[in-house]
Amino acid sequence: MNAVRRKTLAITLVCALAVTAAAPQSAQARPAATQRQAHAIGPIGGVTGGDAIAIGVAIVAIGAGIGFGIYFAFHHGHSLTGCAVTGANGLQLQNKGDQVTYSLVGAVATIKPGDRVRVSGKKVKKSVGSTPQFLVDNLSKDYGACPATP
């Protein structure tokens, strides 16, 4: 997860916690007029309309925070991770995910053969009989040297 997503997730979680941490006042601390209003509401147990709205907002904020966190934890966009190797037509990436070898085109100057990397970009439509291509926008992460294959 990149730094912008981590920062956004952290801010969302802090806001959700701040909303849920705001505890309602006890009945003894409320003015007499407010206690009569709460008593007049009925069997809810002294929950006022404002308290009910705050509870609803807290539930929505927590749900949004959880959904946002799950989305950014698992969504990597269009990226490939694998070992970069020199091929017949230039730099190639042996993708770890789908075990397909892609020819890399685009911003490949920072990618070194023999390194395990994650690149972001998009797959180029495959023409008949050719190696699939991946148009690299940037090098997302360099994990260092590829592990030795047995």
Rounded CA separation 74/72 (Å): 5
> Whole-model pTM?
0.49
How many helical (H) and strand (E) elements, i.e. helices and strands, does the chain have? 3, 5
DSSP 22: -
Residue 150 lies inside a defined structural domain of this protein? no
CATH number at residue 126: 2.40.50
Domain that holds residue 11: 3-74
Q: Residue 30: which pLDDT band, with cuts at 50, 70 and 90? A: low
Instruction: Please write the tens of the pLDDT for every residue from 81-122.
Output: 999 999 888 899 988 878 888 899 888 889 999 999 999 888
Shared domain for 120 and 93, answered yes or no, is yes
* Last residue of one domain, picked from the residues 15, 48, 74: 74
pLDDT at residue 23 greater than cutoff 60: no
Give the pLDDT confidence score for residue 3 in this predicted structure: 67
DSSP 130: S
Shared domain for 127 and 141, answered yes or no, is yes
Shared domain for 93 and 35, answered yes or no, is no
